[in-house]
Amino acid sequence: MSSPANGEEPAPQPAGIVERLVRDDVDRKRFLKMAGSAGAASFGAFMLAACGGSSSSGKSTSNTAAPAGTTATTASRTGDIAILNYALTLEYLETEFYAKVVASGLFKGKVGSLIKDFGSQEATHVEALKGAVEKLGGTPAAKPAGKFPINTATQVAELAYTVENLGAAAYLGQAAKIQNAEVLAAALAIHTVEARHAATLGTLVKKSVTPQGAFATPADMSTVLAAVKPFLA
């Protein structure tokens, strides 16, 4: 690597949030331990810890913790709460959608079990996000009433494929705006599950498991909310 013309060492560049998570061994081990443990309770505990819950030693962690080199502010917490509530609203709708699909009896056997599993995972996301909002000092968004066309198995599977891809794009669209690094890590842990749901459903409806190719396309909040508006009662 060439040196600057004036002979001075180049100033170190600040690492992005994701890079800090990758490079920080303590944060990485914490994330893997909490998010990688079996069961909803472990993931929920990670979400709460990320947002300032009590540690096992009884010492309270700060709910204003910020990545190195940044200052935690009320504005940043408010922004993260808004993003979490946005995600919570989407998870509410996904949970209700899967519950209605299961109740319809359109799917049996292995596919029926898969749909039930997806619904259970979305419900777990709801509880984790609600807890995260509360630990940041916010009020969880109210659960909206949904309406979904539940007619044929093919139509429902294609709708599920669309909804899961939209959910994955929604999380990706907010990733760069999240201020708390551990909240980001937890959000990405949900994002990857949404994407896996979408890929699995893609094989079911014989559509691409990577509809945007090598790189997923993020969706901004206005685009996502416009897309889900028809599903609000």
Q: What is the pLDDT of residues 165-209, one digit of tens each?
A: 999 999 999 999 999 887 898 899 999 999 999 999 999 999 999
3-state secondary structure of 172: helix
The tally of domains found in the chain comes to: 1
pLDDT score at 81? 93
Closest CA to 182 of 66, 75, 71, 56: 66
Range of the domain at 224: 17-52+82-231
Q: Is residue 58 part of a domain?
A: no
Tokens for 155, please give them: 């139509």
Q: Is residue 162 part of a domain?
A: yes
- The two most distant CA atoms of the chain are separated, in Å, by 73
Q: Tell me the HSE value of 161 on the side-chain side, using a 13 A CA sphere.
A: 19
Q: Is residue 106 part of a domain?
A: yes
Residues of the chain with pLDDT under 70: 1-73
- The percentage of residues in the chain with a pLDDT greater than 90, rounded to a whole number, is 63
CB 109 within 8 A of CB 212: no
Q: Is residue 63 part of a domain?
A: no
Q: Is residue 65 part of a domain?
A: no
Rg of the chain's alpha carbons, rounded to an integer?
20
Q: Is residue 119 part of a domain?
A: yes
